[in-house]
Amino acid sequence: MVFKRRDPKTFFRALQEFIWPRGGWSRAFQYVNHRVRRLPDTPEKIARGIWAGVFTTFTPFYGLHFFVAMFFATIMRGNIIASLMATFFGNPLTYVPIGIVSLQTGHWLLGSEMKEGTERSFGGKFVDAGGDLWQNLKHVILGEPRDWTALARFYDEIFFPYLVGGIIPGVIVATICYYLSVPVIRAYQKRRKGAIKAKFEALKAKAAAKSIDRKKKAD
d(CA 82, CA 37): 9
**Cα dihedral sign for 159, 165, 167, 171?**
negative
CA 7 to the chain's CA centroid: 28
Specify the pLDDT at position 26. 56
Q: In a structure prediction context, what are the per-residue pLDDT tens digits for the chain, which is 219 residues long?
A: 444 455 555 544 544 444 445 555 455 556 555 566 567 788 899 999 999 999 999 999 988 899 999 999 999 999 988 898 889 888 878 888 998 899 999 999 998 877 655 444 566 666 666 666 666 666 666 666 666 676 777 788 888 999 999 999 999 999 999 999 999 888 888 887 777 677 777 777 777 667 666 666 666
Domains in the chain: boundaries: 11-112+165-186
Q: At what angle do helices 167-218 and 24-37 cross, to 10 degrees?
A: 70
Buried/exposed code over 180-200 (b: 16+ C-beta within 10 A; e: otherwise): ebbeebbebbeeeeeeeeeee
Model pTM greater than 0.85?
no
Counting beta carbons within 10 angstroms of the beta carbon of residue 58, is it exposed (0 to 12), middle (13 to 18) or buried (19 or more)?
A: buried
CA proximity to 77, closest of 46, 56, 31: 46
Specify the pLDDT at position 35. 63
Q: Is 41 helix (H, G, I), strand (E, B) or coil?
A: coil
